[in-house]
Structure 1
Amino acid sequence: MLTIYDLKNKVMLNQPDFFNLVEGFDSFKGVSFVGSFKIIEKELMPRFKQIDLILGMEDQKTGKNLDQLFNVSNKVKELLSVSADFLDRIENQTLQLKFTKDELFHSKYFIVENKTDFIIFNGSMNLTQKALKHNHEMLWMYHGKKNDLQDLKIYEEHQKLFKHNFEKDSVDYLDRKIINNLYGKTRKQITAIIADEVVDKIQQNIVEVNPADVVKITNDAQQKEQTYELHPETVQKVAKELFTEKGNKRRNEEKAREEIKKIVFQDFSDSSENRVIKASELYPKPIWAYQEDKIIVEDENKLLHPLKVDENLVTEDDVRTFVRIIESFRFNKVKDESHQALSAFIYLMTAPMIWKIREIYRESNFSKSADQIPLSMVLIGRGTTGKTLLVRDYFKKFTGDNSHSLQYTEINDGNASRTDKAVKFLDNYLHSARFISPMIVDELNSNFLHSKVALNAIKQWSNTIQGIHNINIFAMNHNAGSREINNLEEITKRVYYLSFEAPWLPSSQQQINYNMLINDNNDHIYRYVVSELNKRLVNLTGEEEANLIDDYLSLSKNILSNL
């Protein structure tokens, strides 16, 4: 939800349309993290005669983000996706794109203007569809006249700032001199051109790279420290071809050029099942990742480090609150459904390690197929039976996830029977190859589990995905008269169904105040159980392995019962 405070009129604009506010202006300048060029082509190019953008960096990793420089694969993919008009405008400089030369750009500000007026925006919003339509974003805006002396002073100061950022602090995203060489070229030909450009920028010091930052992704020993940089694998490989483990430039330029091209070619040839999805393409932002037998979490300072759990983390009050949450599904309902609630929580606590358990199944001598571990849990049943209460109010806070409750209509652009977009959204998360945060979606369309697209995807995920991945948790209404649940064996072994049918008792008859439970709920138990589960999965005893093959939730149950 975008909120803008109008400084001139001293009024808060709730959920304004950003592009309606900039109608009538012909120049756009700004600093923003941009996930793709689509928004530039779709929203900016038709509106503005002149566009000058600094592509800032997504502040989700420690230190300075080197992806924009070293991610040759991504740059090639972006250039292959744009129109000839896009390249034409870069060449004639009516579209100027730059990125950070040295220090991290954390600013997000925009200046739109015409001959007489200007608007300055400043705040948290990046120039992405998620920021414009979904995220909680805050901006202030100042709409001024160029012939007003007071307004002119504000305008000139911001123009001066942007001029310095654009000319001194940034470097061209793409040298316009090579544009003519890109028209009609194949992916491999464009890769060769971009690889050469990256090497030139490094060797000629066009882009200043801090050796300490390079060491973090080129030196394997450094990567084992407590602060992590979760760069895509291809970025790490490219960096290692350009720099030594000590952060010094390699002398053999020609060898570096050829090796970078090979790395990118290999990245393109990887099958979709082996692809790696960037964090910037995922929404909501993942909370936890996995690397080198460690769970990687983000702290309040946006730094990533291994999860550490103090033995005193879980208090008696935490346990009491958890037990009362489960009991509320017994004492506050017409029929006892506490067993379903407890089962849902146990699956939730196992979720970050489902991928690891599936690996153990594949390697075990006890011969049980990994596809018998469901990658999705569906809380299904009548409306107002507690499914949304679980996924929205309990699960989110229990896992430490402060993002808004994600609705199916958001990931499918509506509640239509077609499920293509929702499947693609979920598929991206499952193929991140490093993120283990469960994807929780409310109000799943009842047609989803009958759709051929979704069914094929569920089977493919279960049969083919290996390595690190997350899982899906859905809440879905299934009222009287609804289409029958898909209970074919090929689905039921891959989807963990939990049914909630009993209505709540009248408020006056409910023994437990659920509002107090929501307030007291926290992520202590979740962190503890997942941390312990990871430790034990890394060093399983023979008995634990046998029990795990018999029941993939057995370790989680054991850890929880010992609290």
Structure 2
Amino acid sequence: MLDILDYTKQELISDADFWKFAGEHLEKPTEFRGVSFVSSIKFIEEQLLPRYDKVTLILGLSDNGKESIGKRMRQLNDRTEFVNYGYEHPDSEFTKRILDGSLRLLFTKQELIHTKMYLMTSDDRYLSFAGSMNLTEAAIHHNLEQLDSDYGKQTDSLYQCHVQMFNDNLRHATTYLDAKKMAGFIKAKNKEQLQINVYTDTVNMVKNKDTGDQDAVIIPAEEVKEYKDQYSSDEELKKLSAQEKLSVAQTVKLFGNAGYKKRNLENIGKELYSLTQVVKHVSRNDDNSGKITREEDLYPKPVLFYNNGQLFEAPRVGDNVKSELITSNLTGDRLREQLQLFSDIAHEYDNYKEVGEGWQACDFMCFLFEAPLLWKIRNMYELSPSSKSREDVPLGVALIGQGRTGKSTLGKRLAAKLTGSGNFLDGGVFDAKNYALGKSNINMTITTVLSDYMYSAGPVNPMMIDDISPDLTTRPYFDRFIKEITNNRSLTQPLPSFIFTMNRREGDSKSQFSLKPEIMRRLWYLSFESTFAGDEDEREAKLNDLLERANDQLYRYCQVELAKFFNDVSPEIEQKIEKDYLYPIKYVLKQAMDQFGMFELVKDYFDDNYDYSLFVGRNDWTMLINQAEVGADLTFIQQDGQLKAQINKQLFNKVSDSTARNNGSMMMERYFQYLPRKYRISYQYTSTGFIVDVANFDRWLNSDTLQQKYNSSEVARDAQKVNTDAKMTELLTRLTEAQEKQAHRHGIFSWLKKK
């Protein structure tokens, strides 16, 4: 029920009709200026726009008090509702009026605007209302509301008071949506970009103090700090709704610990948008799904996903799945025990191998622990002023070895326990799906499923597939997939990763894996080629002990600490991350180990990241050079004062099996790709072979293999003979000259004697 007190006539109209009263007391109105706590698109479009040529509406929107910051953040971002409507309904009256400037929306700049007043005008008259009523259908027709009303000529002194009251509200308001903002927003290529643009504009509007900017929203630092501190504990956070948690997460993302707006926010719009995304997966509609009825069955369980600025865990992939925030209370002796487990796993692969592989094991665990946040580093690299780009952060890791070298034990069994995963997969799992989908091979099925997972919205934990054929990496469709997923500039949201173990066998054409630099840049190869050594019973007992002790406590601890680490990254830290994308997890682990004086246990492993290109092919090249015949297979030459070796194509026929995949040309290309670029061994090859720098080649092999080949060759002996002959000639020449000088001197002395 609406009561209107007609101030002009000094009478009360009970159960009044607002629009009827307005029509009776102001004919042919042209402009509406109002201040309302709330309103809606529907009300504005149906009730205001048909009646008035120009509408200026200030929306108070937010309530002060302990929830003020969260509500203001939420309501700022709620502009997406208004903008989406304009984007989807470009011909609507609402959109047209916003764009032509005859509809302008404003809202609270700093102090809460709690006013409800409305001023309508015609050419020379006015009608005003002030009271409790908001501009909503419920307020006009259903609520108990009361308004004071005054009307008259615009020359009346009271009219100027009404104008002044509205202008006082206007000075405390900022632009919510106008022609300029709407025109910019609706240029977005899709709704996702539209929302990102709104978030970006929101960030640009937010200020900690008033600098006179008309479009600023002032949120004082002390209020932000109080708000963040209030919800810093898990107990307080649990009390909030999903929308309230989102506001907290966005506030944490936007403001530092002291409450001040962060710097370096170039990509903040996308980051704020990503916080609104929940886990979603749309299964492929396929009538012939074989033994695998749901693609979700192929995905890691439980699934980790990044949402509301934090890492959550759910029992499976899907919508409306109950999730829990990942937390950790690991401290003291319990933390020390888990750090010791981490160290023991690395040393197991160092001490019980013919050739130590603790470095690779340690690097793998670092990748595993940092995987849920690799997307952040990719975004950081993309914005870096250096030469780094997102492709320099691999999204996958492959453990490669021959036979029983412990790669599956580490990459599947231990990794599953260390991350709490219940279903790390075997390559054979895809066999049924492969036939059901009519694919020509399992490699294509694996690539398809992996692509689906990487593009799912939300999950960040790695998918692990054990015992994959190495030739997967040589397939054109896998090449396209991994380049697309790593190069895609639109993939700035939380992103998962993947783990492979590959068993290669010498002489098997399917055991050839890609050595292209562009693949190795995106898929990190770790070599586990060395066999186990030492007492077998002792080794097995040690391994069983590790498997029994393995759990996900340290993993959870690291996720919590990494979240703190990324909360406020300084320019100096950014530079360290640019040098080593694993720096964040190494920093977290070092900080923890330093508490117990344990860092020396893994210090050597942390110095640098394992580079497969520096080790792969060493043995193959050594054996190949030992088979080579100087003169036929390779030729030594002097070039620019350096000893070079010309490697001829026919040498590679010796390691060819005459198949199309392993013919001489293919093997020559493969051996050329073995040569690491950083050693500057060779720069290009032709159809007949390539030239290598002997000194740099041997430096890579860590031996004098090629130099010895040269030293034992006829070329070297001929060169040595020529060199010896030249030196002998030079010596004889000097001796002759010396004798002549001696004889000359002797002749002079003889002549003097005679005198």
Greater helix proportion: 2
TM-score normalised according to structure 1 size: 0.49
Structure with more contact order per residue of length (Cα contacts < 8 Å, sep ≥ 6): 1
